[in-house]
């Protein structure tokens, strides 16, 4: 089975596509058959980061049933072992997906025969984005050290938390349990999931345990991108600590990536950053993050759960 790494982060402009592209290139270079999929359906960019200005096929073709399988819209890249599904030429109405189409796409992605599949997610916390983020347990979050970006990380994580609880309990039971928890302790609201879960476990040990198990299955990773010299290098570690302590989720910090103006240059030139600036601090930071993520790679696909 392939390892699926969804890469998200809530806020736009933090470097999700940049990180996805760079990790993909490194995986391919190390001989892994790797597929990158641009899940940012409406405002796709990944093709540009990879230096493929005009991909011939796109997800639209699959969703609109122009082709039968996802395999048919995979395009090759100039890098051996690196394959790509683009959203560049999508129809303009594609961002508004029907539920059925999304499920079909999720299922098809999970079945693709590649060693690594990286999903470049869009900004925001819409169900479409969240569901792709939850396709496996090894989501990678990208943030910068700015408060705007950090707060969106927390939003995204909480959205995942609740989407998962809702999926297990179904909406009605979820509401009931929340009500009951609130009666027992006024502080146990939706914004306090750890206390909520604790009370739910007391009220209904069996279900509480199931949810706890599922949440413990997640193994998120955090990349702190665009770290400036004057920033606190420990901030990523602290974000992970807050999430582990207060949301009882596993969250690994995989590294800082230094800010570098040359990233801008490489995107303007439409050449992958790792190819033209391989000796920069930023490039070695990316390689370190890559190694750290690979060392943690235990991946489990969640598609089966989503389909239930």
Q: What are phi and psi of 2, to 5 degrees?
A: -80, 155
Instruction: Tell me if 84 sits within 8 A of 77, measured CB to CB.
Output: yes
Residue 96 engages another protein in binding (rule: CB under 8 A)? no
Of residues 100, 191, 230, 298, which one binds another protein by CB under 8 A?
191
Residue 228 touching another protein (CB under 8 A): no
> Could you tell me if 141 and 8 are in contact, meaning their C-beta atoms sit under 8 angstroms apart?
yes
Which is nearer to another protein, 111 or 155 (by Cβ)? 155
Q: Least separation, in Å, of the C-beta of 28 and another protein?
A: 18
Q: Please, what is the minimum distance in Å from the beta carbon of residue 190 to another protein?
A: 12
Task: Give bridge partners of residue 199 from the DSSP assignment.
Answer: none
Question: Among 32, 97, 162, 198, which residue sits at the site for another protein (rule: CB under 8 A)?
Answer: 198
Residues 276-295 as x/- pattern, contact with another protein by CB under 8 A: --------x-----------
Residue nearer to another protein on the CB measure, 150 or 178: 150
Contact pick of 69, 91, 234, 265 for another protein (by CB under 8 A): 234
Bridge partners, 219 (sequence order): 250
Beta partners for residue 3, in sequence order: 116
Among 175, 228, 246, 270, contact with another protein (rule: CB under 8 A): 246
Which range of residues in 12-20, 21-29, 128-136, 229-237 is near another protein by CB under 8 A?
A: 229-237
The pair phi, psi for residue 25, each rounded to 5°, is -65, -40
Q: Which residues contact 270 (CB under 8 A, 6 or more apart)?
A: 48, 51, 53
Q: Is 170 in the site for another protein (CB under 8 A)?
A: no
Beta strands 75-76 and 82-85, pairing class: antiparallel
| 210 lies in the binding site for another protein (CB under 8 A) | no
- Taking the alpha carbons at both ends of the chain, their separation in whole angstroms is 20
User: Residue 119 burial by CB count (10 A; 0-12/13-18/19+): exposed, middle or buried?
Assistant: buried
C-beta of residue 211 within 8 angstroms of C-beta of residue 125: no
**Shortest gap between Cβ of 248 and another protein (angstroms)?**
6
Residues in the site for another protein, rule: CB under 8 A? 145, 147, 150-151, 154, 187, 191-192, 194-195, 197-198, 232, 234-235, 237-239, 241-242, 245-246, 248, 284
């Amino acid at each position: 089975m392939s390892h699926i790494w969804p890469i998200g982060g809530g806020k736009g402009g933090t470097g999700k596509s940049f990180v996805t592209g760079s990790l993909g290139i490194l995986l391919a270079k190390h001989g892994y058959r790797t597929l990158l999929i641009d899940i940012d359906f409406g405002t796709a960019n990944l093709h540009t980061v990879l230096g493929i200005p005009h991909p011939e096929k796109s997800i639209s073709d699959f969703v609109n049933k122009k082709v039968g399988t996802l395999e048919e819209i995979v395009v090759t890249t100039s890098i051996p072992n690196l394959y790509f599904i683009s959203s560049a030429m999508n129809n303009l109405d594609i961002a508004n997906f029907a539920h059925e189409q999304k499920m079909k796409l999720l299922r098809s992605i999970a079945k693709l025969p590649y060693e690594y599949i990286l999903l470049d997610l869009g900004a925001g916390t819409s169900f479409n984005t969240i569901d792709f983020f939850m396709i496996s347990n090894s989501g990678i979050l990208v943030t910068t050290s700015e408060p705007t970006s950090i707060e969106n990380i927390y939003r995204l994580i909480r959205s995942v938390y609740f989407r998962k609880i809702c999926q297990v309990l179904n909406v009605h039971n979820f509401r009931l349990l929340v009500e009951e928890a609130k009666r027992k302790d006024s502080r146990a609201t939706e914004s306090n999931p750890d206390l909520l879960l604790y009370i739910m476990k007391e009220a209904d040990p069996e279900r509480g345990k199931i949810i706890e198990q599922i949440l413990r299955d997640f193994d998120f990773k955090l990349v702190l991108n665009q770290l400036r010299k004057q920033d606190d290098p420990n901030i990523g570690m602290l974000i992970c600590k807050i999430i582990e302590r207060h949301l009882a989720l596993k969250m690994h910090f995989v590294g800082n990536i230094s800010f570098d103006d040359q990233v801008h240059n490489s995107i303007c030139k439409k050449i992958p950053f790792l190819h033209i600036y391989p000796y920069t601090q930023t490039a070695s930071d990316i390689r370190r993050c890559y190694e750290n993520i690979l060392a943690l790679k235990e991946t489990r696909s969640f598609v089966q759960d989503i389909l239930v």
